[in-house]
Every structure is written in structure tokens, then in C-alpha cells.
Structure 1
């Protein structure tokens, strides 16, 4: 059964569907099967602490990617003895297999690594991508199906920080985006063979660092055909998934020409509106845009539905739940908004601290899970349009990857361990 999240756009633009080729019980990519960072219902823990810890298991090296779950297998990327690797565990924490690739290109930022990109799966195989340039497909037993190297083929990126974008899947391709100061592009590789099917330029003139992109593309359906929505270089673009042809573009996200505004947070889509966090919330210059996904060609003049200059995020991506957008800002402020208007429904905040939030939050069973970079994990109640902090717990190691909520359990990767939490039977 194919799982869909339905969002409705204006008649001129047709119906949008977020595409996933896996079962509803899977978490096949870093923001989940519907790219919302949320699940409905379920009995999830009020704290991520010793009281709710089901198991923890060590990881072989530092990684910042988010795990995925396909069937009864959890996959995560972590270096092994200085080489890129992907590990698989059963849902009881037992390692099933490990596949090791070539030399790791370690991270240069304290919150970066050579394993920043999250794996992705369609239920038949797993695709992984590393800072070193290794792009590979493995089967569900860890056997390498094909492998190539993006850096060897197209050169190193010029990003100031470690790469962050993850691969995404269409029905036939695995797609990568590279946005930096240099030749920027979107490229599709045959999922089964690794052969490049198309590569399209994506170059825009921006102020310094404005062309650096870390966000992950979204695969959506437009009038019955797959398209790829890509945010970066101060432009939101839509491309035909089969050819890479540019179908739609929206600019004017930085009319004042601010410098050092990279695109980090991945957009979310709700009822035909893309909500995009931009600007520098960490420096007191947040921007939050609502973009109507209507029309074709250059829609810059008509697509901007609303703009907030008082709220936004720099690194964390938003979550969507109950048709609302939820943000955790870099300093711990939390905000719930209406996606159609950008109006605030409520505000909240976690205790102030010198460290920031890098991980993207998730929502499960009305609980809002938000790890801080130092490993303190907060849980809040957001059901009933309220915000109430339920707990905070220090995992004693940095956390950059996002939690995974699935079947009443929260899976989380720290810098050194993989954790599983849940409501224990009394």
C-alpha cells in the first residue's frame, strides 16, 4: 500500500501529494513518510529518561544523520574506523549488519560530521550519501547494489559548513541537490543502477553565502506527475522529476541583499502553502515566508502569501501536525502558526541556555520532542492548542539528528549511542 499525505492547491496548480513508496508503519526518510515530522495518535512517553529507556546501544563513530526505519530494521550512518559506513539494527537494538565504504571526510564543524545526510528507502533498498561524495545503494541485507562518488565526478563543494542535504527518492530515481558558491545543480540517478539520468543547473546570483544550501528537496505530485520542490540560493523551484526541467520558480526572499544567509531549514507544505524559514534567527533577523504553490513559470510576483520578520529558525526544520506548523527556534522559543496566514496560535519557550537547538523537532501523540545540541531533550504537551513543558533530561552526549516517533517509541541517535524510549508496561 502506498502512503500519501494529501494537500490541496488552487485549481490552476492542481493537486499535490507527498510521495512515498513504503508502508505506513515505516519512517523511510528523515522527516517521515509525509515529510511532516509527526505522527497521529499513539501512546508516547512524557520524558526521554532512564524511566522510559527501553535500550541503548553504542555507535562506532560520530554522525549527525537521522536514522530511518523500514519494516523491522533501523538504519543509520556512522563512520567505522575512519571509513563511511551504514549500520542496521533490529528494533530491540541488536546490530544486524554493517556495510563499510571508502575513506570518511570528517566534519569541520563541532555539530557536523561526514555522516550528516540521512539514509532514504522505498522498502526495497536503502540509499546513503556521505560528505566524502560516496553515494550508494544497498539491499535490505546490506549488500552493495551500486556505488559512485559525487566529489570525484563533480568536485568538492565550497560550503562554509558540512553538507546537510539528504537524498530523496522518486519512483525511478534517487535525487541529490548541490547548492554552493560554484556550479550548483539538481541531479537524478537511476535507483537500480546508479546511472545518472539527468542533471540540471540551479545557479542564482546571491549575496555572500546566500547560494549555500543545506535543505533537503521534497518530492510532490503535481497534476498526476512527480515533481521536485527545491529550496536554496534564495529561490524556491519546482522541477519535473523525469527530466529535471524547471516548471516553476519563486524568488525575492532577500530583497535587502543581506549577506551570510544560507538556506538550512527544509520547507514544509500544508494545504498548498509552503512555509519557509530563512534569514538569521540566531542573529536577530528571522524571516518566515508563506508561499502559495500556484501557477507556472516565474511566480515571484504572485506567490508570496505572507511574511513574518519576528519569527523563524536558522537550523531546525518545522513540523506539521493538525494542519498547523510548529517551530522550535534556535534559542528554544517554540511557536505554533497557521500556515495559510502565518498568524501565531500560541507561543512557548524552553529554559534559556548558552547552547542552541540544531535537531528538528517531532510531534507524536500530542507530545513535542525537541533535543538541544548538548543532549538535553525536552518533551512538551502541544495537544489542545497549548504548550506545557513536561520534562527535560540530559543524555550526556550531543544530539543533532532528529528523533523518530514510531509505534509508541522514540528512537534517537546521539553522538555516541542509539537510544530507544517508550512507555513501559507496568
Structure 2
């Protein structure tokens, strides 16, 4: 139980400063990009400069704290001056966008919440071309306008491809390849599918 509670994000996002003051200003000015799980290149490496070389004696300074974003294990994506994440809230999977000061810009439900084993969201939003792509633990793949959260399209990949969910819920962060979205419904029909980013229609599926 202890491990579960200490690894789970509970209704808040806390941002600590691990940068020099000059670097913080530069990042705000440049609107640093981390648009998907493991960053822009998928290698979990940040090219930012000005990081602190040693930990402050009293720990890093608290810059801000955002409440009400929901419960789960999702990390954040940063793109076009906004911070995006996901969480369980009011029995829904909720996507939240914050500005760089932690102020909520929009919050939208994208499907029912995962409430079974280890309840909460899993995936990190993926941002590209002004759109947000996300897959819920219950198989709802959604595309939203990243600026205001308005839904562009959605499809449930478990229903569409005759698949059954796994014990812990689907946990993949969406991967994009040009104008294709790659995801893994599993099941007897197919393991991996590519969908059009424009409307969610099928491009190809594996055996």
C-alpha cells in the first residue's frame, strides 16, 4: 500500500525549480517543448541548459502547485506554451491543460474513469500539429484541439477491433508516425493498428 500511495499523483501537480533563474526565464520565453511521453525524440533526454549542478541544501524552490487535475499515473506533456496531463475526476478520465504558471486553461472529460486495479490514468498525452491525442485505460482513443480541448474525433479500439481489456487497463502513450497514429488494441483480430490522425479511420492493422 505504501508503494502505491507514494507513486500515485493525487489531485495535484507540483512544479519544483531545478533551473537557475536565468534558465527559467529563457524557458518561458522559448516555450520549451516536451510534447509526448519521453520527450520530443522519445529518448527521455532533455536538451535544456542551465540546470542546477547541485541540489540546494533546503531542496528546490516550489514554483507553483495546481489542484483538481485528477488522480492517476500520467506524466505531463509540454507544447505551445501549455502543460497537458490526465487524471480520474468525477468518475471520468479528464484531460487538463495548464499554462506555464499553473493556471487551468481548460479541462475536458474523454471517457469513463478506470476504477479497477490501481485506479487512475496511465498514459501521457501526445501533442502534434495543434492537436492532442490520448488513449484511456478503457480503450477510448481521442483527438482534441490542444488550444481549447474541443473534441475532433474519438474511437474505442477495444470495441472496434473486438479486443478484451487487460487486468491493469491499457497503458500506452500514443505514438505518431507522420499522419498515422499507432496503438495496440490486442485481441484475436489484430495486435497493432495505424489510424489516420485526421479522423481516426483505419489505415492498416497487423494480423
TM-score range, shorter chain: 0.7 to 0.9
Q: How big is the shift at 1:100?
A: 1.1
Q: Greater relative contact order (Cα 8 A, min sep 6): structure 1 or 2?
A: 1
Deviates more, 1:91-100 or 1:145-154: 145-154
Q: How big is the shift at 1:179?
A: 4.9
TM-score by length of 1: 0.38
Do the aligned partners of residues 24 and 197 (structure 1) sit closer, same or farther apart at CA in structure 2, a change above 3 Å counting? farther
1:132-160 superposed Cα distances (whole Å, 9 cap, x missing partner): 21111001211100111122223322x34
Equivalent pair of 1:70/1:123 in contact (CA under 8 Å): no
Do the aligned partners of residues 106 and 184 (structure 1) sit closer, same or farther apart at CA in structure 2, a change above 3 Å counting? farther
Bigger share in helix:
2
Equivalent pair of 1:103/1:132 in contact (CA under 8 Å): yes
- Three-state SS of the structure 1 residue aligned to 2:34 is coil
Tell me the equivalent position of 1:27. 34
- Three-state SS of the structure 2 residue aligned to 1:74 is strand
- Three-state SS of the structure 1 residue aligned to 2:184 is strand
Q: How big is the shift at 1:190?
A: 0.8
Q: RMSD in angstroms over aligned alpha carbons?
A: 2.4
Unaligned runs of 5+ in 2: 1-29
1:170-200 superposed Cα distances (whole Å, 9 cap, x missing partner): 11111102457x5551101110111111111
Tell me the equivalent position of 1:174. 181
What does residue range 281-320 of structure 1 map to in structure 2 within 5 Å? Answer: none
Distance 1:82 1:145 in 2: 22
Tell me the equivalent position of 1:420. none
What does residue range 49-68 of structure 1 map to in structure 2 within 5 Å? Answer: 51-68=60-77
Equivalent pair of 1:114/1:130 in contact (CA under 8 Å): no
Selected match of 1:82 from 83, 91, 101: 91
Do the aligned partners of residues 105 and 151 (structure 1) sit closer, same or farther apart at CA in structure 2, a change above 3 Å counting? farther
1:224-269 superposed Cα distances (whole Å, 9 cap, x missing partner): xxxxxxxxxxxxxxxxxxxxxxxxxxxxxxxxxxxxxxxxxxxxxx
Q: Does 1:163 align with 2:170?
A: yes
Do the aligned partners of residues 107 and 114 (structure 1) sit closer, same or farther apart at CA in structure 2, a change above 3 Å counting? farther
Aligned residues: 174
Tell me the equivalent position of 1:146. 153
Do the aligned partners of residues 188 and 81 (structure 1) sit closer, same or farther apart at CA in structure 2, a change above 3 Å counting? same
Tell me the equivalent position of 1:44. 51
Q: How big is the shift at 1:29?
A: 0.8
